Amino acid sequence: MLRAGGIVLGGSLVSGSATAAGGDGSTTLTLLSYNDIQTAAAEDKKFPRLVTLIEQRRAAADGPVVVVGGGDEVGPHALSPISQWRAPVDVLNKVGPDADVIGNHEFDYGFDAISNVTEDSEFPWLATNLVDSETGEAFDGTESERIVERGGVKVGLIGLADEGATTGKTNIDFEAEGVTIEDFTETGPAEAKRLKEEEDVDAVVALAHTGIDDAENLAEADADDDIDVVVVGDDEQFYPPEAVDGSIISEARARAAYLSEIELTIEGGEVTAFDGQLIEVTDDIEKDPTASSIINDYRADVGLDEVIVEAETPLDATFGSNYHRETGYGNLITDAMRDRAEADVAITNAGGIRSDSVYGPGEITGGDIFNTLPFPNTLVTVELTGEELVETLASQIVTLESGTGQDLGEEISQQTSGVRFEWVPHEGVDEQIRDVRVGGEPLDPDGTYDVAVNSFMANGGSGYPLEDKPVIEATDELLVTLVVDYLRERDTVAPEPEGRAQRVDRDLPDASVTVDGNGKVVTQFDAPDDVQSVADDTVAVWTPDGEHVDAEHVAFGEGDETLVVRLDDGDLADTIEDAADGDEVSLNLYAEYESSEYDHVYFERSRLNADVAATVRRRGRGASGRGRAAPPGR
């Protein structure tokens, strides 16, 4: 019988957890696990408290204890450019885990550095399905498996990674490095069976840097249920221990926020029951002094606690925001890149913005910026044609209809500067990137543009098609350093989204209006069939320069087929004040709406767009200023 526990807050266990049985021949083995320490490794906050919690749970266990990690422990973090893997490894040596697994961020410092990571670690790093292509054995510095004997119980530990955590998230050419990535759903169960049949282990624990979905696939593929526990890393989910297809699966979120504790009843050489929970790492848990000292000594070396700027708006470094839409902080980072490179455009990948936190408003320290940009990426400027720039932007779109889109919602997956565009996150559309402007001017498909990116992207990381593009300048300047320097030059910053990347689900017909600064501008559109209602407070008209005017009045009721939008002509004229009499200015109207077709995951509503051609009249004031939608012409 498998029985599962629940969520534990405040660092204390719920009652009813399994205890070592007396006299019945059974033993309770406690398995403690963490995963994806990442940015917490550079902060004297949760990581030292996690160290204390592990020691507390070791002491409280009524039976043998095994401690393991789920990978992505040594990066990325704010100290990466200075200490690389050393700060987190030094702290983990204090913990003394029985094993950890090689994840994609263990490759942050390059393939050759893995042997340095393993050499400095006083515990083994497992890579069961990443093998030397010639020998079939573990590649340099790693181990295929580890058997731990404790309290009369033998536990077999294996380490697995999927393609998403290897070729999908690194720039490593594993084939060129002589490493074969075996199918973890085949290698894992086969090695578990071998450990039980040949090594006579009582339990097998798979450290799987795969994410929950692939961990469940692993459990399903393990037909003989030889894998008893799957400790998961990579997708950073809050996943309390749960029985799935004969295995117990658990993931402790990330960044030292939780500790997974699973109590396994071992009887007759097998796991017969379990109780498990996630224990929150809270501020009332004392910090381990050695761990704090290690982190603070590294921080002092680089002055991470120095205030460098005052932020008047929040600097949003959360994954949800930066993957799905334009953010003020993404604008700040890419503005700094474009400024330093003197480039036309700057792009940075959403995955390069870390910490999953919001900083400010208020004082911002160097450590805050290092937390959000922890990779040792440098600034690179490449030359792209307009057509290649569109291809580059389109390479990052995740459509709503895709598997990832169904799980996480449609994504733009990047932040930009110097370029404005619309993105259409759906399958089967003619253009997923459209209406592109660089420096306020329409994109020239055959023209060339200087584009600043980071070195990870320039080498083809995250699927960017840049590896073979001409390099104008490849600097040794760290991305994080140039952003810090950019901020030091300013007393305050107040970055906000400004319409650089506009999401569009459906089109309205084009419209033509006259703008003379008097009265009102009214437009009327035939609405698409899936429009059920329109959110009045989201309707606005945007200029090519990123200025916008909110609608004064919106009319669209249930059963209506037309959308009527009214704007103040004076406000609209003010936003295009540089236009001369007779000029035609291309505007865009955007509106959010409830759709009968699209079921969004991240966004609250779908989004409409209409191209609006505004003819400017600086003379003859008093004209009506009215316009009506032209026939569809997209």
What does the block give as tokens for 564? Answer: 């009527």
What's the pLDDT tens digit per position in 275-322?
999 999 999 999 999 999 999 998 887 778 889 999 999 999 999 999
User: Would the pLDDT of 559 be above 80?
Assistant: no
503 near 425, Cβ under 8 Å? yes
pLDDT at 558: 67
Verify that 283 and 343 share a domain, yes or no.
Answer: no
Rounded to the nearest angstrom, the gap between the alpha carbon of residue 279 and the centroid of all alpha carbons in its chain is 24
Which tens digits make up the pLDDT trace of 232-278? 999 999 999 999 999 999 999 999 999 999 999 999 999 999 999 99
Query: What is the model's pLDDT at position 81?
Result: 72
Tell me if 298 sits within 8 A of 104, measured CB to CB: no
Question: Does 444 have pLDDT greater than 80?
Answer: yes
* SS3 assignment, position 126: strand
My answer on whether 129 and 277 are in the same domain is: yes
Residue 623 resides in a domain: no
- In this predicted structure, what is the pLDDT of residue 480? 92
Task: Identify the pLDDT of residue 189.
Answer: 98
Residue 516 CA to residue 210 CA, distance in Å, equals 59
CATH code where residue 320 lies: 3.90.780.10
Helix runs in 376-501, H state only = 386-394, 403-408, 455-458, 479-488
pLDDT value for 523: 94
Domain end: 295, 312, 335, which one? 295
Chain centroid to CA 121: 27
Lowest mean pLDDT among 103-107, 230-234, 415-419, 626-630: 626-630
Residue 629 lies in a domain: no
- Is there a single domain that holds both residue 247 and residue 157? yes
Return phi, psi of residue 275, to 5°.
-140, 135
For 369-393, write each residue's pLDDT tens digit: 998 998 889 999 999 999 999 999 9
Q: Are residues 307 and 239 in the same domain?
A: no
Domain boundary among 295, 326, 342: 295
Residues 265 and 330 in one domain: no
333 contacts 373 by C-beta, under 8 angstroms: yes
Determine the structural domain holding residue 143 and report its residue range: 7-295
Query: At residue 366, does pLDDT exceed 80?
Result: yes
pLDDT of residue 631: 37
Q: Quick one: how far is CA 465 from the chain centroid?
A: 20
| 581 close to 621: Cβ distance less than 8 angstroms | no
Distance from C-alpha of 169 to C-alpha of 505, rounded to nearest angstrom: 29
8 Å CB contact between 477 and 378: yes
Does the residue 627 lie in any domain?
Answer: no
Tell me the pLDDT tens digit for each residue of 493-518: 999 999 999 999 999 999 999 999 89
Query: Do residues 82 and 156 both lie within one domain?
Result: yes
* Residue 123 DSSP symbol: S
Is 0.85 surpassed by the pTM of this model? no
Question: In Å, how far are 401, 544, 546, 588 from 568, measured between CA atoms?
Answer: 38, 18, 18, 16
Torsion-angle region of 346 (φ positive above 0: left; ψ -120 to 50: alpha; else: beta): beta
Task: Say which residue the tokens 């309205």 belong to.
Answer: 508
Alpha-carbon torsion, ordered 510, 515, 519, 524, to 10 deg: 0
Q: CB neighbours (10 Å) of residue 333? A: 30
Task: Check whether 170 has a pLDDT greater than 90.
Answer: no
Contact (Cβ atoms closer than 8 angstroms) between residue 587 and residue 542:
yes
CATH code for position 184: 3.60.21.10
Do 160 and 144 touch, CB atoms closer than 8 A?
no
Query: What's the sign of the alpha-carbon dihedral 549, 552, 555, 557?
Result: positive
In three state form, how does the secondary structure of 548-576 look?
Answer: EEECCEEECCCCCCEEEEEEEHHHHHHHC
pLDDT tops 50 at residue 634: no
Q: How crowded is the C-beta side of 527, counted as CA atoms within 13 Å? A: 26
Average pLDDT over residues 337-354: 97
Residue pointed to by tokens 């799987």: 208
The answer to whether residue 15 scores a pLDDT higher than 90 is: no
Q: Taking the mean position of all CA atoms in its chain, how far away is CA 218? A: 23
Indicate if the pLDDT at residue 10 is higher than 50.
no
> Do 331 and 475 sit in the same domain of this protein?
yes
- The DSSP symbol for 122 reads S
Residues 215, 66 share a domain: yes
Mean pLDDT, range 405-418, rounded to an integer = 97
pLDDT of residue 375: 87
Query: Is the preceding peptide bond at 64 cis, omega within 30 degrees of 0?
Result: no
Residues 219, 246: contact at Cβ < 8 Å?
Answer: yes
Q: How far apart are CA 231 and CA 209, in angstroms?
A: 8
Which of residues 445, 476, 501 is at a domain's end? Answer: 501
User: Could you tell me the pLDDT band of residue 525, with boundaries at 50, 70 and 90?
Assistant: very high
Q: Is there a domain that residue 634 lies in?
A: no
pLDDT at 627 over 60: no
Average pLDDT, integer, range 102-121: 94
Contacts of 408 (CB under 8 A, 6+ apart): 323, 398, 601, 602
- 285 with 313, same domain? no
Average of pLDDT values for 524-544?
95
Estimate to the nearest angstrom the gap between the alpha carbon of 9 and the chain centroid: 26
For the chain, percent of residues with pLDDT exceeding 70: 94
Q: How confident is the model at residue 619 (pLDDT cuts 50, 70, 90)?
A: low
What is the C-alpha separation between 447 and 194, in angstroms, rounded? 60
Angle at 593 between CA 587 and CA 599, to 5 degrees: 125
Alpha helices in 68-210, H assignment, sequence order: 80-83, 86-95, 114-120, 184-198
- Greatest Cα-to-Cα distance within the chain, rounded to the nearest angstrom: 100
Q: Is residue 162 part of a domain?
A: yes
Tell me the average pLDDT of the chain: 92
Determine the pLDDT at residue 22.
43
User: β-strands 531-534, 315-316: how paired?
Assistant: unpaired
pLDDT in tens, 320-329: 999 999 999 9
Looking at the fold, whether 489 and 605 belong to one and the same domain comes out as no
**368 domain-assigned:** yes
> What's the pLDDT band for 550 if we cut at 50, 70, 90?
very high
**585, 545, 330, 524: which is closest to 438 by C-alpha?**
545
High-pLDDT (> 90) share of the chain, %: 83
Number of domains in the chain: 3
177-229 pLDDT per residue, tens:
999 999 999 999 999 999 999 999 999 999 999 999 999 999 999 999 999 99
What is the pLDDT averaged over residues 594-615? 96
Residue 623 — pLDDT band, cuts 50, 70, 90? very low
Quick one: pLDDT at residue 11?
36
Radius of gyration of the chain (CA): 28
What are the C-alpha distances in Å from 33 to residues 66, 260, 548?
Answer: 9, 5, 50
Interval 13-22 mean pLDDT: 36
Q: What is the CATH number of the domain that holds 593?
A: 2.60.40
The distance of Cα 483 from the centroid of its chain, to the nearest Å, equals: 20
pLDDT at 24 (0 to 100): 64
- 625 has a pLDDT exceeding 50: no
Residues 281, 319, single domain; the answer is no
Query: Does the residue 77 lie in any domain?
Result: yes
| Sign of the alpha-carbon dihedral angle for 107, 112, 113, 115 | positive
> The tokens 């949760």 sit on which residue?
46
Q: Is residue 628 assigned to a domain?
A: no
Same domain, 55 and 198: yes
